[in-house]
């Protein structure tokens, strides 16, 4: 298993992984166009785990200059419990630290709290989300 940066050719396999894990939500964020926007964003980290040339997991995060966040980690169901998720989060943490981050928050821990606790995360507070942003920003 190797971990590398996202490539455009990964899109289809990554969408399939997100769908299989019931993590595919808004196509604007999770579909091909969303993935390409994340990959083009200098603040973002978008890594893919690959086995035999095939993507088996992904992690997405961001560092805004003060705080670092991991927004999603997803491992293909038939490849779970082999350390891939841990390796993805650890590598994302190294990249974010290299950019200057001193802390790391996961915004969507889901039901797998034990996975995050093993990686030293502690549950502090819940995140609130406005989806769609127009509801907050207003029209125009």
* Residues lying near ligand COA in the complex (CB under 6 A): 21, 23, 72-75, 80-86, 108-110, 112, 114-115, 118
Least Å distance between CB 86 and ligand COA? 3
Least Å distance between CB 136 and ligand COA? 23
Contact 57, 76 (CB under 8 A): yes
- Nearer to ligand COA among residue 21 and residue 29 (C-beta): 21
Q: Which of 56, 50, 85 is nearest to 70 (CA)?
A: 85
Least Å distance between CB 138 and ligand COA? 30
- Nearer to ligand COA among residue 25 and residue 83 (C-beta): 83
Q: To 10 degrees, the CA torsion angle through 107, 119, 57, 9?
A: 70
Least Å distance between CB 140 and ligand COA? 33
How far apart are the C-alpha atoms of 7 and 46, rounded to whole Å? 9
- Nearer to ligand COA among residue 63 and residue 115 (C-beta): 115
Interhelix angle 11-20/32-40, rounded to 10 degrees, is 110
How far apart are the C-alpha atoms of 99 and 58, rounded to whole Å? 20
- Nearer to ligand COA among residue 1 and residue 39 (C-beta): 1
């Amino acid at each position: 298993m190797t971990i590398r940066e996202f490539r455009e050719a990964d899109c289809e396999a990554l969408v399939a992984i997100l769908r299989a894990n019931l993590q595919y939500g808004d196509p604007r964020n999770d579909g091909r166009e969303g993935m390409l926007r994340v990959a083009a964003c200098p603040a973002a980290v978008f890594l893919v785990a690959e086995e035999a040339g095939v993507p088996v997991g992904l992690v997405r995060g961001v560092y805004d200059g003060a705080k670092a966040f991991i927004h999603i980690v997803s491992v293909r169901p038939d490849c779970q419990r082999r350390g891939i998720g841990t390796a993805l989060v650890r590598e994302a943490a190294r990249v974010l630290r290299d950019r200057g981050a001193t802390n790391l928050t996961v915004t969507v821990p889901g039901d797998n709290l034990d996975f995050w606790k093993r990686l030293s995360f502690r549950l502090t507070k819940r995140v609130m989300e406005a989806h769609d942003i127009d509801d907050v920003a207003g029209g125009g």
